[in-house]
A and B are shown apart, each in its own frame.
Chain A
Amino acid sequence: MSTRGGDPAWRDQATSRFGPADEPPSGPDDLLRRVARGDENAFSQLYEMLAPRVFGLARRVLRDPAQAEEVAQEALVEVWRTAARFDPAKGSATSWVLTITHRRAVDRVRSAQAGADRERRVLAASGETPYDDVVETVTSNLEQQQVRRCLKGLTDLQREAITLAYYDGFTYREVAEKLDTALPTIKTRMRDGLIRLRDCLGVEVGLPAANRAGR
């Protein structure tokens, strides 16, 4: 996570390339802060930046494009509505938006109306390796390659537990059943798998104090 606001040279350089002078080009973090102040223009830019991620994630979890579209709409409106609650000390704007999206997608998957379809999904998913599926659908940018590489570094059980939960929206109980593994083991594998992924991806949360004071 980087903070850009404090550097005037950067701003000058940037305004010549993007948009009106009062709108320096911004990453999702800056945009989201402006959205929190009711800036619809910033929201529009944020939409351009993140809508494919939001829709892509909803689609990945829900499979059905129509449902994914509805969930993406709900999630993006929630981003607008609750932007003021975004706290950069707890993570990036992109991850905040995807967290909202994932939660909504998972809620939808588990809702009663999706019940019948869910049964089918459980059956359909049983012969499948979710990881390969994911790899197939991604375009090969650096970020995605890194995720792929780090997923490879997990044990099979860690990887399956995490991908079944995250990409398919299964609860850890369902994951335990599907993988025929004891519940406490699945809990632990999800946690130590995430620790390994976190370290592999170099995830750090929280801004240095100097950066936080900048805004």
Chain B
Amino acid sequence: MSQPNEVHTLSGAYALDALTEIERAGFARHLAECSVCETEVAEFRETAARLGMAAWEIPPARLRERVMAEVAQTRQVSASSRPERSRSQDVALWRRRTVAAVAAGLIAVGGGTAAWVVQEQRVNRAATEASQLESVLQAGDVQVHSAAVSGGGRMTVAVSPSKGAVAIMSDLPTLPKGKVYQLWLITGSNPAEPSVIMASGQTGGTVRLTSLGTADHLAVSVEPDGGSQHPTVVMGTVPLA
């Protein structure tokens, strides 16, 4: 919630289903972290539904037959369907969140060092980046691993031997000025190899990892602005396979 006003004003458009898929996913992500917004959105949804109640029309009789026939053959989800979510649904959810992170104006890093902040006006560019990420995320051989970062937030990686790898950092603690997050590739007990340096002030984002080599873990550390050659304070690690 670093820019509550910015994101928060989308609550109306969200409740009216007036966001694009990418923006919607971005707002949903914000919503999960903002209980005030959750109440507001629930009230807006209820309000919007009242507008919906102003439209009323008797449907053709065949609609009833079709619906009842389909219902008779449709299995219901259980009340506790969240814990029972299948792995593929988990991956799908994670994909959506990744797209969301890109769209929500976090960061996208390509080629290892160049970083840019995606502004709202650049959603199209974000969408292009998102579609590149999608190719990894939709690969049949993708594997997803996730781990908590000390101090808060999570790091998650998706690795596809055929399409490459992406990492998403979400909700990391805000760092003091002059400090940045840096990613590291770790192979066994060898010294960590410096990888992506996140932009100053960024606490989350989606990162395409270009060359994993033989690395078996990804780590995130806190470094002076500009990055380091060796990790200073490691905040979390996640396995790559």
Contact = CB atoms under 8 A, between A and B. Distances in A.
A84 B75 CA distance: 12
B67 interface: yes
A33 to B, nearest CB: 10
A99 B70 CA distance: 21
A138 interface: yes
B53 A36 contact: no
A interface SS class = helix
B19 A171 contact: yes
A103 to B, nearest CB: 6
A126 interface: no
Contacts, number: 198
Contact of A171 (B20, B50, B51): B20
A95 B51 CA distance: 10
A53 B50 CA distance: 11
A152 interface: no
Interface in A64-85: 69, 72-73, 76-77, 80-85
Interface residues of A, number: 77
Given A53-B55, A188-B9, A77 B79 contact: no
Contact of B74 (A80, A197, A198): A80
A172 B76 contact: no
Interface in A116-153: 134, 137-139, 143-144, 146-148, 151
A25 interface: no
Contact of B56 (A56, A187, A205): A56
B59 interface: yes
A92 to B, nearest CB: 7
Interface of B: 9-13, 15-20, 39, 42-60, 63-64, 66-68, 70-72, 74-79, 81, 120
Given A47-B64, A99-B45, 17 more contacts: A36-B76, A52-B56, A55-B57, A77-B70, A84-B79, A98-B52, A102-B17, A147-B50, A151-B51, A163-B51, A187-B13, A192-B12, A194-B15, A194-B16, A194-B44, A194-B48, A198-B43
